[in-house]
A and B are shown apart, each in its own frame.
Chain A
């Protein structure tokens, strides 16, 4: 188990002992859902149990105590797919604002995509992201490096070097590797470093020029559509290559019923595949584009209801093991254009848990421990991170959730620099109210400082 590179030394020194008392502790890795205390020592989980340190042991410095009664205590969320936009797109987001927004949504670890300008494709760039993440001291930042130099799909990056600098995965982020041969080589070469290849599974020729899902809505709106089969073909290819090479593949942003079916079958055959879906693909369908609203312009596109429901079912049964926000900030001016010209993407950190809790847990599609697993241990396992659970000696990255908190999504209140959410104005139930990284509180609801 590698040490998380973004773990700040000073946190380990400062917070010596912390007791999170009396919360409903949900940790899917331990199969636990009960009222417990969590004891944190030196930034790591020391114990989870009943009535810990009560009464305090003789001669022990009495620990800092957080009263969690009435709240859920869960492992911090891990986001396997986020765009922090730095370097190069700082008008959209910086690493500092990105991880602050992440912490406000309960994410304690974020995998930063390499589609920056310049792209993160060498150890120096990886080091920059790691260092900026440390300085920000909110959610931990785990960079993914580009799989090919410049994300151009011509030759592989130095996987060993980027992993040495702190990268946890490789992938070209937002672009499929067109050459099946190069994808095969990436899946083979990555095995020397025990990292997954993050796949943007798509046939680029079928997808070319499309701005939404191809179907009756694109026909009515006169917009160029992307067919389901573009994703299905990409998923099939990447699964076939993973199976042939024995490599580890993580399929990003699954959005169709056909993809879910292929992943299920591949997993039954023993292919080493993990897969993610975003809150917007889990909840929203392509009818919303009727208004030409650019905040619904995401990639892959929003799909018909049948696909949305298939992805929900795949999340419930674990075929989709991870929720990813695909947090993709865009500046207001960039979205305030004709639909064809507006960039893709939606911010996601600060709404992910609450929209899924409101729409999936409260409506009985998945239960709460499952949702927490998909947002913590699932992605942590996909990326090979030591986070995502509260077993003894795990990093003390944990969150407190108020399941009864009712609130309305107000983009102006976001910690993110950008406001491009498809959930603006939604009434939601449930909210992360406190986020701790290495035992230190990095965000509390209502605390407007920082």
Chain B
């Protein structure tokens, strides 16, 4: 990415999803993330790329991991950040989403990182305010930075994404992580499958470019990596699965099941995990788990996205020691 002429912006004004990003755009974000990752290993974890920029983390849904990851990314790039947590009940009584955003806008902010329970919210905000908008999860739609950090983790491990076989296991229906992974992987040339109880696999998912496995056994035989999704406990009340015990027994990713794989499978999980439900501890903590690597990459990917949207790509450290295939 060191072309003589200045490269076209890798992203537009906003990052609302991975569906419409090309493989090249995604690769550029990942490359930049690799350069930023090194910052987090320094004793002084700070760059001035976003100094003077104001970023609001607007979280309408509780989140610990994603919010903290964004906050670290912002602070390591020198931005000033404000966190706003608004619960569903307080918002429904109070001002509208648009008014909240416009009020923030009036305080001359530069970027909004938004999480909302309703699909389409990030795009909705992005089309109504001039600040850069980053989607930190909108309903069951997309969670693009999670998708990017999963891609980066896979690329670290396998050297490339093209031709890689990744199966997403679990509650696909309600999962924004699943959608962002599907789009990101398909757009970078990987092969994608989903696997879960049919009640949690949405209509027409194969038209997104992925195959569907009804049983974990088939997925294990096919895949190079499994991305295991959290089973929200309220899905049981919704009747999608009769019991967590049976879910673990039929769809849980266990060591016994992985032992049947023809090759060593890499295991991802977006967290937080329900140990003993969708994933067993000996898998989560086992040698093929890259779950903590995902967390590390999360900060790097978010730094890359923030810098790209701010037009400060050139502030990243020069590509240092190339990592495997990066």
Contacts and interface: CB of A to CB of B under 8 A. Distances in A.
Interface of A: 214-216, 218-225, 227, 291-292, 333, 336-341
Interface residues of B, number: 25
B203 A222 contact: no
Interface in B106-163: 116-121, 123-124, 138-142
Contacts of A220: 19, 179, 208
A222 B176 CA distance: 7
Nearest to B138: A222
Contact of B203 (A218, A221, A337): A218
Given A338-B121, A341-B118, A219 B138 contact: no
A336 B203 contact: no
Contact of A216 (B98, B120, B140, B203): B203
A221 B141 contact: yes
Contacts of A227: 203
A221 B120 contact: yes
A216 B207 contact: yes
B139 A223 contact: yes
Contacts of B124: 292, 338-339
Select the residue from B97, B117, B119, B121 with max chain A CB neighbours within 10 A.
Answer: B119
Given A223-B141, A225-B202, A338-B118, 11 more contacts: A216-B204, A216-B208, A221-B119, A222-B140, A225-B203, A227-B203, A337-B97, A338-B97, A338-B121, A339-B119, A339-B124
26 contacts: A214-B203, A216-B205, A219-B202, A219-B205, A219-B207, A219-B208, A220-B19, A220-B179, A221-B119, A221-B120, A222-B119, A222-B120, A222-B142, A223-B119, A223-B120, A223-B140, A223-B141, A225-B202, A225-B203, A292-B123, A292-B124, A337-B96, A337-B97, A338-B116, A338-B120, A339-B124
A341 B88 CA distance: 12
A277 B119 CA distance: 29
A218 B139 contact: no
B174 to A, nearest CB: 8
Contacts of A291: 123
- Smallest CB-CB A-B distances: 9 pairs: A216-B204, A222-B141, A292-B120, A222-B140, A338-B118, A222-B119, A219-B202, A340-B118, A216-B207
A121 to B, nearest CB: 28
Contacts of A225: 202-203
B135 to A, nearest CB: 11
Question: Chain A binding site: helix, strand, loop or mixed by DSSP?
Answer: loop
B179 A222 contact: yes
Contacts of B121: 338
Nearest to B120: A292
Contacts of A341: 118
Contacts of A223: 119-120, 139-141
Select the residue from A219, A221, A222 with max chain B CB neighbours within 10 A.
Answer: A222
B204 to A, nearest CB: 3
A339 B118 contact: yes
A219 B183 CA distance: 12
A227 B204 CA distance: 12
Nearest to B172: A219
A337 B117 CA distance: 13
Nearest to B119: A222
A295 to B, nearest CB: 13
B98 A336 contact: yes
Contact of A336 (B96, B118, B138, B204): B96
Select the residue from A220, A223, A336, A340 with max chain B CB neighbours within 10 A.
Answer: A220
A222 B142 CA distance: 8
Interface in B197-217: 202-205, 207-208
A216 B205 CA distance: 7
A220 B210 CA distance: 12
B97 A218 contact: no
Contacts of A221: 119-120, 141
